[in-house]
Every structure is written in structure tokens, then in C-alpha cells.
Amino acid sequence: MSRRGLTLVVAGLLTLALGGAGAVLPVPYVALSPGPTEDTLGSVKGKPVISISGHETYPTSGKLSLVTVAYQGGPTAHLDLLTALRGWVDPNVAVVPEETIFPKTVTVKEVEEQNTQEMTGSQQDATAAALNELKIPIETIIVVASTQKNRPADGKLRPGDQITKVDGTAIRDVDGVAAGVRKHKPGEQVKFDVIRDGKPLTVDVGTVEGNGGSIVGMVMGTRFKFPFNVNVNVGDVGGPSAGLMFSLGIYDKLTPGALTGGTSIAGTGTITADGKVGPIGGIQQKMIGARDAGATVFLTPADNCDDAVRSVPDGLRLVRVTTMREAVHAIDALRTGSGNIPACKAP
């Protein structure tokens, strides 16, 4: 064999070897791509995404779709070099450092559990936002989210305890509990009336100095008691970013007529119980997923607008929203052809 032929053979073998190594060589990155899109007015695996019982509902049409991001890679299934390289040149994929999705301070299981908790909380907040928008009364319940180690509440109050009174006075919100504790001097006892596992209980908890006053060392959260049942079924979707679309789907089912006028609208955004819309991650992949699912309008959190306008797919109209009410008004304007429709604008 000539020297040139030998060189070509060796070069070919090296190329194959490097390609083979690249196919299995793990890299600390995660590839993000458009994930499933689910219509909140439709069904998943034969079950309605949103089902309501105990209150009148109305038939509707069109789509109010939530969008998701799928990921490949992670601590338990590392991305290989070739997949990462393909992702870097694919405009529909974002390749980000692994720590962006899986911080080293938490395990994969903890990340998944957090996503599940955020989804559950998002559904509660979305229901509250929709009912508040419709002026349907709901009851706010104050619960113990966690206690701080070596603080007075540790071992006395438990996560999930529902706080009903502080020193015999009924409370309505988190601020009321905090104010009741601050009335005491450090070292004094606070009497909490709680409901634990369905049973009423009185718990005396000491106080210590902290944050410029007295504290007991607990983190509080809120839950809601609704006057009828609202159930949300989205399968394996996690995280809080579908909150806005859940709230709009619930609102649509509780009001006569079709909110969308029969068109296909997608969107994203976290939601608070009072209807404020917050930013999310993966906006580029979510817009692509929305367009591929047939949406022509995309409800975009205001804080995501700058990134969205830089990569919006052709044929997708970006509507800027800061609150659920603003989203409802924008959809009304789109349906009727009149009124102001706030848009995301280039920075």
C-alpha cells in the first residue's frame, strides 16, 4: 500500500474512532426542545384536562393550549457530545449547562419533586385567579409550609398544619399570623390554634428574636378552599409555567360562549391567586411548539417579550400580558376585532 493510501486509511480510522468516542462521550449540558402541547379545553388520554363539578359550566370551542419544554440529558442520562453539537446548530434546540436545570446542591429526585409541587401549586393559584376574576368567593387557608431547625416551632408545628387562630384571634392571611407573633417579646409564648390531620389542636410555641422582632421559626403558605371542585389533569407535565393557561381554561368553562371565538391560542406564564402573570423559561422552544400545534396567537408574559420577539416563528402573533384580566381582554379584542391588543415589541 502506498504511503498516501496508508495515510487515508489511518485518517479514516481516526475519524471513525473520534466519531464513536463522540457518540458516547458525556458532556455536562442539557438539550432543550419543544415539548408536548396540551389544549386546556381538551383531553389527555381520554380525560378532560379541566373538569368542574358542583357549578354550572358551558360548552366552548377553539383551543387554549399550554406549551412545554422537553429536555435530553441530565445527571442520570448525560448528553453525549454529538447530540450536543447537533443541538448547537439546530435553531429549535437550546443547549444549556446541566446546572441550569439540575443544580449540584439538589438531586434529580428533588428537582422532579419540586416540579410536581410547583405544578400542584400552579393549579391551585390558577383556580383562585379564575374564580377571583369571576368574583366567586373563595376561602384562603394559612398552612405551615416548613419549620426552621433549632427554632421554637421545630417539633411543635408541622408542615401541613392549618393555622386558624393566633392567641385566640382568628386570622385571614399570612400577615395576620406574623403580626400576632410580633406582638410578643422574645421568650414569650404564642398560642396557635391549628387543624392537624383533620383534628383541632392548640399548640404553644416560644419566640426568639429575629428580623427585628419576635419569630417562631416557620415558613407559611396558603391554600384555597373552593366552593366547588376543579380538577386538572395534565399527565407528566411539571412546573408552574402553565398557570395562565389553566386559569383561562377554567374561566372559559365557567362563562357562556367561546372565549377564543373558535380560534387556536397558546400561551405561557406563571399565575398568582390575584391574577399576576410571571415570566418562564424556554420561551423559544415553547413558541415553536405552539406554532407546530397550529396556534396563531401566543400569550407572552411581559418579562419574556424581549427574548420572544428575537426568535418568534413566522405566523405567530405575540400578545403581551401582565395579568389574567389583561389576557381575557386581549382575547376578547381578538375575537371581536375591536379594542386594544398589547403586543410584544422589539427592544
Span 325-339, average pLDDT: 94
Q: Report the pLDDT value the prediction gives residue 118, as an integer from 0 to 100.
A: 74
**From 156, 253, 276, 286, the catalytic residue:** 286
Task: Calculate the alpha carbon distances from 116 to 212, 222, 236, 256 in Å.
Answer: 35, 17, 9, 32
**From 241, 247, 253, 276, the catalytic residue:** 241
Catalytic: 286?
Answer: yes
Burial (CB count <10 Å: 0-12, 13-18, 19+), residue 175: exposed
Q: Report the pLDDT value the prediction gives residue 78, as an integer from 0 to 100.
A: 78
Q: Report the pLDDT value the prediction gives residue 19, as an integer from 0 to 100.
A: 52
Identify the top-confidence range among 12-16, 168-172, 218-222, 316-320.
316-320
Average pLDDT for the chain: 88
Catalytic: 183?
Answer: no
pLDDT in tens, 150-209: 999 999 999 999 999 999 999 988 999 999 999 999 999 999 999 999 999 999 999 999
Residues above pLDDT 70, as percent of the chain: 92
Residues above pLDDT 90, as percent of the chain: 66
pLDDT in tens, 17-28: 445 545 557 788
**Which residue pairs, CB below 8 angstroms and at least 24 apart, start in 100-107?**
100/30, 101/30, 101/71, 101/74, 102/30, 102/74, 102/75
Span 292-313, average pLDDT: 96
- Distance separating alpha carbons of residues 232 and 219, to the nearest angstrom: 27
Phi, psi of 310 (to 5 degrees): -75, -20
What is the model's pTM?
Answer: 0.81
Q: Is the pLDDT of residue 14 over 80?
A: no
pLDDT in tens, 136-150: 999 999 999 999 999
Span 217-245, average pLDDT: 89
Phi, psi of 228 (to 5 degrees): -155, 170
Q: Is the pLDDT of residue 97 over 70?
A: yes
Q: Report the pLDDT value the prediction gives residue 20, as an integer from 0 to 100.
A: 52
Task: pLDDT band for 120, please (50, 70, 90 cuts).
Answer: confident
Q: Report the pLDDT value the prediction gives residue 29, as an integer from 0 to 100.
A: 84
3-state secondary structure of 133: helix
Q: Report the pLDDT value the prediction gives residue 312, as an integer from 0 to 100.
A: 94
pLDDT in tens, 36-86: 899 999 998 889 999 999 999 999 999 999 999 888 877 777 778 888 788
Domains of the chain as residue ranges with CATH: 29-136+228-336 (3.30.230), 139-225 (2.30.42.10)
Written as one letter, the residue type at 129 is A
CB 306 within 8 A of CB 294: no
Consecutive H or E run containing 178: helix 174-182
Span 233-239, average pLDDT: 78
- Distance separating alpha carbons of residues 13 and 15, to the nearest angstrom: 5
pLDDT in tens, 259-275: 999 999 999 999 999 99
Q: Report the pLDDT value the prediction gives residue 10, as an integer from 0 to 100.
A: 43
- Distance separating alpha carbons of residues 71 and 8, to the nearest angstrom: 39
Q: Is the pLDDT of residue 91 over 50?
A: yes
